[in-house]
Amino acid sequence: MNNSEKIIDAFPSSNDFDINKIRADFSILTETVKGNPLVYLDNAATSQKPTQVIEVLDQYYREYNSNIHRGVHSLSQKATDVYESARDKVKNFLNANSTKEIIFVRGATEGINLVAQSFGLSNISEGDEVIITEMEHHSNIVPWQMLCETTGATLKFIPINDAGELIMEEYAQLLSDKTKLVAVSHISNALGTINPIKTIIDKAHAVGAKVLIDGAQAVPHTRVDVQKLDCDFYVFSGHKLFGPTGIGVLYGKHALLESMPPYQGGGDMISMVTMEKTAYNALPHKFEAGTPHIAGVIGLGAAIDYVNAIDFDAAANYENELLDYALSKVDQVEGMNLVGTAKEKTSILSFTLDSIHPHDIGTILDDQGVAIRAGHHCAMPIMERFCIPATARASFAFYNTHAEVDALFDAINQCREVFG
């Protein structure tokens, strides 16, 4: 029996989601680590890539690698077509109104920085307020701190309760006509909490504030409809959505993007340059200076094709089953304490185990082939809120199995054995 066979799931699933077919698309899942089958539970850090994405990247470099938007030759035309068709796929994926609203960036982090620097510097000034939450990733804290430092605006945050949910009454108190922007994660990377973003957006709009949603953790698990949400900006990273690293998306409402100054200057973002003056290119190109990550965009398009081809709702249900199965096992482990127990929660299991430091847990789990994240998850204010230095975090994707959840808990029990 080879290692890959060992982790095929025999657990009956409540829907027709074909886990074995899905797993066959992710060849990395048959790798071994320290002699054990890889059990990859670090999906909130980055997801694995299906063969369909890897082949598209390979094909671009092998068959039509060339620069876009400038060549008259055939390869450049093809690269441009595939690049722009990926923009169309992203538009449909988010249900945006137009491809002009889809800006390719390096990742969610760059998307937030773009909004902070471009929208922020031209719309926010001394006396204004920006609201974030206590559960944000550093990428949705630091750009706003930098903006407030430059402009003299004030940064406020919505606190969270012991379950890791936003205290919405406090949010209502924070909002005022001074509020210019609210920036909130759709799903928390450290706690798994799904935030009530529709309510947050509506309340912010009621006082005239704009809203940015950090969807880095949300897009792999839930459908997003930016028009229904009515958010002003939405950002996500390709690599958490089964696509390549180094590529992400900023969605922005057309009129807002139109009114914003460029973020970076260079080629592709201009329509006319003289030594005295530059006329900027139209949207979306105004925000895409320089040769972009063409392969990344094409790969992201393939990743969206992939999630569109599987039954996304069934996949989400399956992930919830995995989470419930894992949660049912937590009580059986003495000293295991969950951090983040929100009612609305995605498949992220953040925990502490007695006084065993998460870093030690991570090493012992790795020895069993189980890959998790240990640390502060780039969300140090959350750790401070719960008075812990770090947590261990297992995060599931739809290619994980019940057998892998078992492997996780076997390895957790091994930690207790090592530390007596």
Shortest Å, Cβ 401 to other proteins: 24
CB 194 within 8 A of CB 346: yes
For the chain, give percent helix, strand, coil, nearest 5.
45, 20, 40
CB 391 within 8 A of CB 383: yes
Let me know the angle formed at the C-alpha of 198 by 197 and 199, rounded to the nearest 5 degrees. 90
Residue 237's CB is within 10 A of a number of other CB atoms, namely 30
Residue 85 interacts with other proteins (CB under 8 A)?
no
Residue linked to tokens 């105004």: 286
Residue from the set 374, 379, 382, 394 that interacts with other proteins by CB under 8 A: 374
Residue 230 amino acid letter: D
Nearer to other proteins, 71 or 375 (CB): 375
CB 44 within 8 A of CB 189: yes
Shortest Å, Cβ 43 to other proteins: 19
Residue 32 interacts with other proteins (CB under 8 A)?
no
Nearer to other proteins, 329 or 357 (CB): 357
Nearer to other proteins, 78 or 138 (CB): 138
- Please state whether the peptide bond connecting residue 284 to the residue before it is cis, i.e. omega within 30 degrees of 0: yes
Nearer to other proteins, 296 or 358 (CB): 358
How far is residue 179's CA from residue 192's CA, in Å, rounded to a whole number? 27
Closest CA to 348 of 213, 193, 237, 240: 193
How far is residue 289's CA from residue 264's CA, in Å, rounded to a whole number? 6
Closest CA to 282 of 262, 307, 252, 303: 262
How far is residue 239's CA from residue 194's CA, in Å, rounded to a whole number? 20
The token pair at 187 is 């799903």
Residue from the set 280, 312, 325, 419 that interacts with other proteins by CB under 8 A: 419
Nearer to other proteins, 9 or 367 (CB): 367
Is 415 assigned a catalytic role? no
Residue linked to tokens 């027709």: 16
The token pair at 346 is 């995605």
Q: Applying CB under 8 A, which part among 44-52, 80-88, 91-99, 356-364 lies near other proteins?
A: 356-364
Residue 135 interacts with other proteins (CB under 8 A)?
no
What backbone torsions phi and psi does residue 188 show, to the nearest 5 degrees? -75, 130
Residue from the set 84, 305, 360, 406 that interacts with other proteins by CB under 8 A: 360
Residue from the set 121, 270, 383, 403 that interacts with other proteins by CB under 8 A: 383
Nearer to other proteins, 195 or 352 (CB): 352
User: What 3-state DSSP class applies to 385?
Assistant: helix
Residue 35 interacts with other proteins (CB under 8 A)?
yes
Shortest Å, Cβ 375 to other proteins: 5
The token pair at 268 is 């592709």
Residues 179-208 that bind other proteins (CB under 8 A): none
Nearer to other proteins, 273 or 418 (CB): 418
Nearer to other proteins, 31 or 384 (CB): 384
Strands 129-133 and 391-395: unpaired
Residue linked to tokens 């914003």: 260
Residue 359 interacts with other proteins (CB under 8 A)?
yes
Size of the site for other proteins (CB under 8 A): 20
Residue 389 interacts with other proteins (CB under 8 A)?
yes
Q: Applying CB under 8 A, which part among 198-206, 267-275, 319-327, 350-358 lies near other proteins?
A: 350-358
Shortest Å, Cβ 387 to other proteins: 11
Residue 375 interacts with other proteins (CB under 8 A)?
yes
Q: Applying CB under 8 A, which part among 58-66, 287-295, 297-305, 376-384 lies near other proteins?
A: 376-384
Residue 364 interacts with other proteins (CB under 8 A)?
yes
Residue from the set 85, 291, 363, 410 that interacts with other proteins by CB under 8 A: 363
How far is residue 214's CA from residue 233's CA, in Å, rounded to a whole number? 9
CB 127 within 8 A of CB 180: no
Residue from the set 24, 167, 270, 356 that interacts with other proteins by CB under 8 A: 356
Catalytic residue, from 148, 231, 378, 415: name it: 378
Q: Catalytic residue positions?
A: 378
Binding interface with other proteins (CB under 8 A): 35, 356-360, 363-364, 367, 374-376, 380, 383, 389-390, 414, 418-420
